[in-house]
A and B are shown apart, each in its own frame.
Chain A
């Protein structure tokens, strides 16, 4: 038997060790994110302090010729490219993902858990370069044969992205549908509604904010995806006239050019501004998601 005094002291010391250790960990996390925002923002805003570049021209300019004389920094083609590819990807993936979620929760929960769930998890696990490689070696030749154009472009990019964001949309939709109180569905069935009527009159409207959360998270992931898109989009710096024409996104131009520019040159700073736009969009997406989450609790 130990003396009471001697038991109490290590007990307190132990508690302090735990407190300090976990606090340090969380502190590291906070410092990381603040320095990340600070460094990328300060680099990104630097471009606008250069002579003959202003924010409005940067965001709406159509010509991107950073090495030309005089250099032109019009980022609109990339912004348009990023938005069209990610929104198109969500338009393809959302119906598929929501149907899959309905299948897993309402139609065949057993088969859903046993087969569809692991399939979705594996889809989420395939690395993005592998998606890019498949896109480049299967999808692009296919699109080239079937549609006019070279196959590369927004269509190829958004199809590849739609497969990559399908797991995000499906998982969140399935969680939302599973969390719905049973009494709602039972009430609907008791009134004589069929399963489909229950799904689209009761289940989908009630879970709509949560379903949209999944879609926005999907768009946000597609917006930030770099390599898979870069491999299939063609990388021409202008706004395309069709979905099957080469174009660029914010991420693809950063990926391609960042390694070839000298730090501090106007070209390099312009790329940092593109990265800053990407980061700012992340914040916008997070706030949309938060807003939707608040809606879904009501």
Chain B
């Protein structure tokens, strides 16, 4: 076989692999949306699930997922940005910094089920928070924090050196330089990364099985007192999220329409994740234009 034929065959194989991957994603999304969208209705999205009867919805689960995401971001974002700034601006090169970097790497590769078990042991039992939204948010923080640190660190490092040096030369403190000069430039990247990470948090289930719990109490959506046990806003109630719900009805669902509910809920989950992906791109570009002088 001549070198040119081999080249053509190899090129053909590589292109067909690329086409195969695109087709794979198209068929996965197609399957989920075609199977699930027929089942999505206003009623499905807002009503409570049924254990043994058909016609249950995913209302509380959808609400729990969104609420949990908000709680998680409220804890993760300040911590992650702070730690990321430390890693990129304050950490001096040396043993200690290398060690911290190793720790972040290890933490980011821990399986999410191990994070969930840690949550069960420490947050749920030791701190006595029980199966609750707040425990779930803390477990997701552990799961999401290394990613936030890496996103922030890279974004801050991406700021042109001249801008930072000009600000320092004008006599601004390092912290002022970071908050007023570097953050506006880095923010679009941080926001894009955070929104993408939110998609990951939204679909996470393994870390939540033993922290946020697998049940959801009857919620009274007219009760907005965050201290009442039936209020949806109470962060100390158990909360089954959408992803956990999909897992549960697939493994132990008793309702006759469990397969359709799983399909509908999966479609909702995938649509939300897609929305996160598209808004991340669009919002990042929008912020960049808004905060910097570039067109």
Contact present for B103 and A282 (CB under 8 Å): no
Q: CB-CB contacts of B13-37 with A at 8 A, as 1s and 0s?
A: 1110110111011001101100100
Contact present for A132 and B10 (CB under 8 Å): no
Q: List A contacts of B175 (CB < 8 A).
A: 14-15, 17-19
Given contacts A15-B175, A39-B118, A224-B114, contact A134 B28 (CB under 8 A): yes
Contact present for B111 and A251 (CB under 8 Å): yes
A190 adjacent to chain B (CB < 8 Å) = no
Contact present for B125 and A263 (CB under 8 Å): yes
Name B43-93 residues within 8 Å CB distance of A: 78-83, 85-87, 89-90
Contact present for B17 and A100 (CB under 8 Å): yes
Contact present for B106 and A125 (CB under 8 Å): no
Contact present for B100 and A40 (CB under 8 Å): no
Name A164-197 residues within 8 Å CB distance of B: 166, 193-197
B186 adjacent to chain A (CB < 8 Å) = no
**Chain A residue at minimal CB-CB distance from B281:** A118
B4 adjacent to chain A (CB < 8 Å) = yes
Contact present for B90 and A22 (CB under 8 Å): yes
A56 adjacent to chain B (CB < 8 Å) = no
| Partner-binding segment picked from A28-36, A61-69, A73-81, A142-150 | A28-36
Looking at the assembled complex, report how far the CB atom of B268 sits from the nearest CB atom of chain A, in whole angstroms.
Answer: 10
Q: List A contacts of B228 (CB < 8 A).
A: none
Contact present for A254 and B269 (CB under 8 Å): no
Looking at the assembled complex, report how far the CB atom of A12 sits from the nearest CB atom of chain B, in whole angstroms.
Answer: 7
Name A80-116 residues within 8 Å CB distance of B: 95-96, 99-100, 102-104, 107-108, 112, 115-116
Contact present for B21 and A116 (CB under 8 Å): yes
Pick the contact of A286: B105, B176, B196 (CB < 8 A). B105
**Chain A residue at minimal CB-CB distance from B245:** A129
Interface size of B in residues (CB-CB distance below 8 Å): 92
**Chain A residue at minimal CB-CB distance from B119:** A36
Contact present for B110 and A224 (CB under 8 Å): yes
Pick the contact of A22: B83, B102, B206 (CB < 8 A). B83
Looking at the assembled complex, report how far the CB atom of B292 sits from the nearest CB atom of chain A, in whole angstroms.
Answer: 22
Looking at the assembled complex, report how far the CB atom of A269 sits from the nearest CB atom of chain B, in whole angstroms.
Answer: 12
Q: List B contacts of A32 (CB < 8 A).
A: 107, 142, 145
Looking at the assembled complex, report how far the CB atom of A138 sits from the nearest CB atom of chain B, in whole angstroms.
Answer: 7
Contact present for A99 and B7 (CB under 8 Å): no
Name A236-261 residues within 8 Å CB distance of B: 251, 254-255, 258-259
A208 adjacent to chain B (CB < 8 Å) = no
Contact present for B6 and A196 (CB under 8 Å): yes
**Chain A residue at minimal CB-CB distance from B79:** A25
Q: List A contacts of B212 (CB < 8 A).
A: none
Looking at the assembled complex, report how far the CB atom of B234 sits from the nearest CB atom of chain A, in whole angstroms.
Answer: 23
Given contacts A25-B79, A129-B243, A231-B251, contact A255 B113 (CB under 8 A): yes
Contacts between chains A and B (CB distance < 8 A), count = 261
| Partner-binding segment picked from B157-165, B218-226, B270-278, B283-291 | B270-278
Contact present for B14 and A254 (CB under 8 Å): no
Looking at the assembled complex, report how far the CB atom of A81 sits from the nearest CB atom of chain B, in whole angstroms.
Answer: 15
Contact present for B32 and A134 (CB under 8 Å): yes
Contact present for A127 and B203 (CB under 8 Å): yes
Q: List A contacts of B196 (CB < 8 A).
A: 121, 125
Q: List B contacts of A138 (CB < 8 A).
A: 31
Looking at the assembled complex, report how far the CB atom of A192 sits from the nearest CB atom of chain B, in whole angstroms.
Answer: 9
Name A9-57 residues within 8 Å CB distance of B: 11-12, 14-15, 17-19, 21-26, 28-30, 32-33, 35-36, 39-40, 43
Given contacts A18-B178, A134-B32, contact A129 B25 (CB under 8 A): no
Pick the contact of B106: A43, A199, A217, A282 (CB < 8 A). A282
Within the assembled complex, what's the spacing in Å between the Cα atoms of A35 and B277? 33
Pick the contact of B266: A133, A193, A283 (CB < 8 A). A133
Within the assembled complex, what's the spacing in Å between the Cα atoms of A282 and B266? 29
Contact present for A224 and B113 (CB under 8 Å): yes
**Chain B residue at minimal CB-CB distance from A251:** B113
Contact present for A33 and B107 (CB under 8 Å): yes
A-B CB proximity, top 4 nearest: A127-B203, A224-B111, A18-B175, A25-B82
A-B contact pairs, 13 of them (CB 8 A): A11-B171, A22-B82, A25-B82, A25-B83, A29-B107, A33-B107, A43-B121, A129-B244, A133-B266, A231-B251, A251-B113, A263-B125, A272-B117
